[in-house]
Structure 1
């Protein structure tokens, strides 16, 4: 070791070094759980009492890895896992044959597939335009199929990175193949996953979806409405879908939300319309250091 290196050498072994040390020779018994280092003892970390520690780890791991990748700004794409791409939808219609129930279901899926294509194009626009910025904007999705796949796919096809925040479910949700591998995360806690969706987001693009999408949308709206997080563009793709699903006028009329709360979001129909709205909100010029 050189004299220079001696000044900066560690004073203590790292946890990693300690964890990989072999057990002492000549031990008279199998290494019991009590003897294992606490941070390398999986059974201990999975104890019920260690939930607060696991929650902290689930907060820190994606945070630190994104910091290492230089990710500061994201656009979140929410939407149903059940919306197919156009080709898959067309095949389903053809396979339905003359069965009226199956045909009706397949035709509806074919109609909804336009949202897959819009999410894919929107992610492509975000990635292509923002990559020239000093602080690029990255697409982040829930990491699964459907609209989530479309978002990661659009970024991938534009030659950019994108993030997937997967969740462990009873029927396992496999990560889609378009997520950047080093940015593919897996969560146990829904709450921490939703927190990571918003920590770096400068906008939310919400496509048609079910309970999960509504949960994510309304948590975001609530945080903005109550001032718990800063206001940011919330884009609802498909006015007809959202207006039929949620009677926003009734909420205002009955006093359940305040007049003006319905302006916390914007209806858009196309990827280009959504991007134009973001350009009216932020300085998206190439080389700009950050989003104010």
Structure 2
């Protein structure tokens, strides 16, 4: 058979080779984004979310962390005042609107809660500056490293406090349906984006020697009860869990009622401590936390 192909066939063969090279099946598996994002590769993506932060933490020499949780909607005082001012302006224009009146009431509450932004920032400064267990505080700090969800509000305040101290801090951000960017105070090479909440939680607790929870919403409560459950059943090492602002938390959750009802043991109440100032929270953490979990 003649090995020379007619020009028409040569063109077909060249086109076919081009299609082969451009085919999804010819891509290296780890470079095939459509494959990696498919439902059948969920397990692979989960493994990557476990492994990637772990590799970076080991490379960075992070030995222990302190978790700070709290509301994303809590603002610095100046921002909260501006929000209230705008709400009042809208009320002047719509005095009969129940919705606008409600917005004013909520803005007033957010202004009251702005004190927790200041306290979270101060706590993170103290924990970063004094919690390095003999290290010189700075960009190489490896112990008692502040870790937050990487977003706004209390998370921003805590990362900002570490930034003020000239120390590193971690942000474990999450991809949400609505646009969300990490706050600007996280150490750049210690900021991670997650798709799976469960794996994000894994990295929160893995190196934690303590947790401080400021007032917050559903997300903060989710993290609180995750920590309490792990401590209650003994799968998480002993670590202080500090609720910042007894009045807020006591009104929100009646822990004594849970114990009185027989649904938790009286000893389970000892898993929780309260603090009212940044210094008090740091004293509780510093007196109980060890270098390594």
Structures share fold, TM-score greater than 0.5: yes
Residues 1:51 and 2:42 aligned together = yes
Q: Using the alignment, how far apart are the partners of 1:57 and 1:145 within structure 2?
A: 26
Residues 1:76 and 2:67 aligned together = yes
Deviation readout 1:76-103 (Å, 9 max, x if unpaired): 0001100001110122223333624333
Equivalent position to 1:38, from 7, 29, 52: 29
Equivalent position to 1:29, from 18, 23, 29: 18
Residues 1:162 and 2:169 aligned together = yes
Equivalent position to 1:172, from 161, 169, 179: 179
How many Å apart are 1:132 and its aligned residue? 5.8
Q: Secondary structure at the match of 1:97?
A: helix
Equivalenced residues, count: 262
- Bigger helix share: 2
Q: Using the alignment, how far apart are the partners of 1:264 and 1:84 within structure 2?
A: 29
Q: Secondary structure at the match of 2:212?
A: strand
How many Å apart are 1:131 and its aligned residue? 3.8
Residues 1:195 and 2:202 aligned together = yes
Q: Using the alignment, how far apart are the partners of 2:42 and 2:267 within structure 1?
A: 40
Q: Larger Cα Rg: Structure 1 or Structure 2?
A: 2
TM-score w.r.t. the length of structure 2 is 0.85
Deviation readout 1:216-242 (Å, 9 max, x if unpaired): 110110001001111100000010111
How big is the alpha-carbon RMSD for the aligned residues of Structure 1 and Structure 2? 1.7
Equivalent position to 2:77, from 69, 75, 86: 86
* Aligned position for 2:97: none
Unpaired runs of 5+ residues, structure 2, are 1-13, 92-100, 136-141
Q: Using the alignment, how far apart are the partners of 2:289 and 2:230 within structure 1?
A: 21
* Aligned position for 1:19: none
How many Å apart are 1:291 and its aligned residue? 4.4
Unpaired runs of 5+ residues, structure 1, are 1-24, 284-289
Q: Using the alignment, how far apart are the partners of 1:282 and 1:111 within structure 2?
A: 31
Residues 1:127 and 2:134 aligned together = no
Q: Using the alignment, how far apart are the partners of 1:188 and 1:262 within structure 2?
A: 33
Question: For the Cα contact (< 8 Å) 2:131–2:286, is it kept in 1?
Answer: no
Question: For the Cα contact (< 8 Å) 2:243–2:249, is it kept in 1?
Answer: yes
Q: Using the alignment, how far apart are the partners of 1:185 and 1:254 within structure 2?
A: 41
Q: Using the alignment, how far apart are the partners of 1:64 and 1:83 within structure 2?
A: 33
Deviation readout 1:190-239 (Å, 9 max, x if unpaired): 00001100001100010111111111110110001001111100000010
* Aligned position for 2:246: 239
Moved over 4 A (4+): none
TM-score w.r.t. the length of structure 1 is 0.86
Q: Using the alignment, how far apart are the partners of 1:291 and 1:61 within structure 2?
A: 21
Q: Using the alignment, how far apart are the partners of 1:229 and 1:131 within structure 2?
A: 22
Higher alpha-carbon deviation: 100-109 or 258-267:
100-109
Q: Using the alignment, how far apart are the partners of 2:292 and 2:170 within structure 1?
A: 19
How many Å apart are 1:272 and its aligned residue? 0.3
Equivalent position to 1:274, from 263, 281, 293: 281
Q: Using the alignment, how far apart are the partners of 1:55 and 1:65 within structure 2?
A: 16
